[in-house]
Amino acid sequence: DQQVKQNSPSLSVQEGRISILNCDYTNSMFDYFLWYKKYPAEGPTFLISISSIKDKNEDGRFTVFLNKSAKHLSLHIVPSQPGDSAVYFCAASGGGSTLGRLYFGRGTQLTVWP
Amino acid sequence: NAGVTQTPKFRVLKTGQSMTLLCAQDMNHEYMYWYRQDPGMGLRLIHYSVGEGTTAKGEVPDGYNVSRLKKQNFLLGLESAAPSQTSVYFCASRLDRGKAFFGQGTRLTVV
């Protein structure tokens, strides 16, 4: 039973436009959320994170929004660039029975075209 | 700093053979993880460790064993490899509940 879900396997966006990647989670114990980026033949690299005490976190072109009541988070990339083309993974961690674990979604392949 | 280093990077095994994947981190992290990545399945947690001498099962532990005898190393063992274990394996480490750092991956093929 997946606790972190990324329901869009792929997303295609034109360069300069906004990319919005979505993620849903089911476990109320999650209180820390992360986004990772992965290029082929490389390990995932950390992009941005957000704690459940916030609803928004920005880092340059990347912004993550958290809606706790809907158990939903999204990653906005503005403006999108061809080098952003990669697989993006959403991840979640928390306390209680989830302590120590880091759960990942199935990923969304983002393609940014010129 | 090397970060997280996985050994080997590639390996081909015959069904029934055994092997050990090594993960080493030089960041003094408490938490370490082994994931497998398969097409369309994302990153699935095999086993993890919250400190030296501890291990716990993840989502897909069957067919794998792990050991964390030293804080900096996390070993993943396959006792009798099966074709279903053909995958890319990633090791990761975390200081606590912050971000995790990943290794470059091990591509394993079982024939």
**pLDDT by residue (tens digit) across A59-80?**
999 999 999 999 999 999 999 9
Task: Give the pLDDT score at B1.
Answer: 59
Structure tokens at B90: 């990633």
Q: Provide the edge-to-edge strand list for the sheet that holds B4-7.
A: B4-7, B19-25, B73-78, B64-67
Residues 6+ apart with CB under 8 A from B105: A41, A42, A43, B6, B9, B37, B88, B89, B90
Find chain A residues with C-beta within 8 A of B104's C-beta.
42-43
Find chain B residues with C-beta within 8 A of A35's C-beta.
none
Query: In this predicted model, what pLDDT tens digit does every residue of B13-62 receive, in sequence order?
Result: 999 999 999 999 999 999 999 999 998 888 999 999 999 999 999 999 99
Find chain B residues with C-beta within 8 A of A23's C-beta.
none
**For residues A103 and A35, is the Cβ–Cβ distance under 8 A?**
no
Chain A residue closest in CA terms to B89: A43
At position A85, the amino acid (one-letter code) is S
Task: Give the pLDDT score at B40.
Answer: 84
Contact A104 B42 (CB under 8 A): yes
Query: In this predicted model, what pLDDT tens digit does every residue of B79-98 receive, in sequence order?
Result: 999 999 999 999 999 987 78
